[in-house]
């Protein structure tokens, strides 16, 4: 097995830049996204989870949940490469029982700089160190320290969330874990008339978290994304394993759910799906290798009378997912159950007075079963002391 590194490996030079592709009206969307998993001692099969998003969009107006965001300005870039962008900081916190959504929904301007900028307190080489700093009274920053040793994030939750039982303060540090999941991966694709995406990901990290002065250990995932295209439905999910292994799956699809204009699940029109190219990846610590998958299926399952009754904050049944990924050497089949739901709704005015819609759901997961088959044998859930993860399901068509 590969040894842990004391720094994050990869080309982080564009980590704090949002100008990798020319912006497109109503389509360009930029964000830094972190999710953290903390083992839940009261229910070992599940985890407490924190999601944080620092985001900006090229749009005259968009409604996020019930908050109308009208930027009023555009991205500005100074002569040192520093960015000032209108944006929002959004977050949710699942404490193992209750989903606090939103934990934070804060409209603000944000400054994004690397360590070569004059505002940075030390001299640097522009190799990754830097931060995004929302210009608000509270510290809601995300950054990477000198030498790419660790990410930090600082949060102060909204007063409304605190009144509903959410913690006031959460801080975290993300440090390298085992080999491949902690190495930066980069994907860039321009597929039509400047439409495309640019993605940096660190799929698995260790995490040290302080929640209202109480310390926890867990794992984390980080990505920085630029998307320049309409958004249509997808399934995505990921799992962290106790030995540092990492698995994810992704299946965009065309569905009548593109026509959905609200956040209500289990519509009849969501039954039919025409899957597009599904993919996945498995960083296998036990075999010390990485498996890439170009075949993936995801099935959304509505619970029946034999299942444990689990509901979201609106009283809707929570789904299960049946997932398969495979290649010539390795086949993985699993079933997971959502134990909570965080949802974000987006309504964006578009052409001819129309309004386009996207509902984006994030589900803390409990793994029910998994089978991993390769040339060396078969592994199941019992081969690991814990496996934690999260799944996404979106519907609508935002443009």
- b/e map of 342-362 (b: 16 or more CB within 10 Å)? bbbbbbbeeeeeeebbbbbbb
Bond before 171 cis per omega within 30 degrees? no
* 132 and 184 inside one domain: yes
* 236 and 225 inside one domain: no
* 245 and 353 inside one domain: yes
Query: Of 183, 199, 229, which residue is a domain's last?
Result: 229
pLDDT at residue number 21 = 74
> Can you name the residues that pair with 300 across neighbouring β-strands?
321
Query: Into how many domains does the chain fold?
Result: 2
pLDDT at residue number 376 = 97
- Rounded Cα distance, 51 and 176, in Å: 19
Q: Which residue has the tokens 């962290």?
A: 240
Q: Are strands 295-301 and 289-293 parallel, antiparallel or unpaired?
A: unpaired
* 246 and 186 inside one domain: no
184, 8 Cβ separation under 8 angstroms = yes
Helix (H) or strand (E) holding 160: helix 159-163
pTM: 0.94
pLDDT at residue number 265 = 73
Q: What is the block-wise mean pLDDT of the chain (399 residues), using blocks of 10 residues?
A: 76 92 78 97 94 93 90 87 94 97 96 94 89 97 96 98 98 96 88 74 98 98 87 90 97 66 63 69 97 94 81 93 97 97 91 82 97 98 98 86
pLDDT at residue number 1 = 47
Angle, alpha carbons 309-34-135 (nearest 5°): 120
- Rounded Cα distance, 84 and 22, in Å: 16
pLDDT at residue number 2 = 47
* 301 and 390 inside one domain: yes
- Rounded Cα distance, 368 and 305, in Å: 17
pLDDT at residue number 230 = 72
- Rounded Cα distance, 287 and 252, in Å: 29
* 295 and 240 inside one domain: yes
pLDDT at residue number 308 = 79
Q: Which residue has the tokens 């006031």?
A: 168
* 182 and 308 inside one domain: no
Query: Of 229, 258, 283, which residue is a domain's last?
Result: 229
Q: Are strands 342-349 and 355-374 parallel, antiparallel or unpaired?
A: antiparallel
- Rounded Cα distance, 43 and 49, in Å: 13
- Range of 385's domain? 232-399
* 139 and 63 inside one domain: yes
Task: State the number of CA atoms in the 13 A half-sphere of 233 facing the CB.
Answer: 23
Chain-centre distance for alpha carbon 37: 12
* 77 and 207 inside one domain: yes
- CA dist list (Å): 316 to 221, 346, 394: 28, 20, 16
* 224 and 241 inside one domain: no
- Rounded Cα distance, 128 and 13, in Å: 5
* 313 and 185 inside one domain: no
**What's the CATH number where 311 sits?**
2.40.370
Give the 3-state secondary structure of residue 196.
Answer: strand
Phi, psi for 383 (deg, rounded to 5): -80, -5
* 147 and 204 inside one domain: yes
**Could you tell me the two tokens for 125?**
């080489």
Query: Of 205, 229, 253, which residue is a domain's last?
Result: 229
- Rounded Cα distance, 391 and 231, in Å: 17
């Amino acid at each position: 097995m590969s040894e842990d590194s004391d720094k994050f490996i990869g080309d982080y030079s564009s980590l704090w830049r949002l100008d990798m592709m020319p912006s497109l009206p109503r389509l360009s969307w930029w964000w830094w996204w972190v999710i953290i998993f903390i083992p839940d001692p009261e229910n070992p099969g599940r985890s407490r989870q924190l999601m944080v998003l620092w985001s900006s969009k090229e749009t005259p107006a968009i409604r996020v949940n019930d908050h109308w965001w009208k930027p009023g300005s555009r991205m500005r870039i100074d002569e040192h490469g520093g960015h000032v962008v209108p944006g929002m900081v959004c977050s949710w916190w699942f404490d193992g029982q209750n989903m606090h959504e939103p934990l934070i929904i804060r409209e603000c301007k944000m400054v994004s700089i690397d360590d070569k900028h004059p505002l940075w307190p030390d001299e640097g080489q522009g190799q990754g160190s830097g931060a995004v700093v929302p210009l608000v009274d509270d510290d809601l920053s995300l950054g990477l320290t000198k030498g790419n040793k660790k990410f930090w994030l600082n949060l102060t939750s909204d007063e409304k969330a605190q009144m509903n039982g959410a913690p006031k303060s959460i801080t975290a540090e993300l440090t390298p874990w085992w080999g491949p999941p902690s190495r930066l991966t980069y994907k860039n694709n321009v597929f039509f008339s400047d439409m495309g995406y640019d993605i940096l990901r660190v799929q698995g990290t260790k995490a040290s978290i302080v929640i209202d002065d109480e310390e926890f250990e867990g794992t984390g995932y980080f990505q920085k994304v630029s998307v320049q295209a309409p958004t249509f439905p997808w399934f995505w999910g990921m799992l962290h394993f106790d030995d540092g292994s990492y698995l994810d799956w992704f299946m965009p699809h065309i569905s009548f759910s593109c026509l959905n204009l609200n956040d209500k699940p289990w519509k009849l029109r969501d039954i039919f799906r025409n899957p597009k190219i599904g993919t996945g990846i498995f960083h296998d610590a036990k075999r010390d290798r990485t498996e890439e998958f170009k075949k993936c299926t995801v099935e959304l399952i509505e619970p029946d009378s034999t299942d444990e009754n689990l509901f979201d904050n609106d009283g809707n049944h929570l789904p299960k997912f049946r997932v398969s990924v495979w290649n010539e050497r390795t086949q993985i089949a699993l079933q997971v159950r959502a134990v909570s739901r965080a949802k974000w709704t987006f309504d964006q005015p578009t052409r001819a007075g129309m309004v386009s819609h996207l509902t984006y759901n994030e589900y803390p997961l409990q793994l029910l079963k998994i089978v991993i088959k390769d040339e060396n044998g078969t592994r199941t859930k019992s081969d690991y002391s814990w496996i934690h993860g999260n799944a996404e399901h979106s519907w609508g068509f935002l443009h």
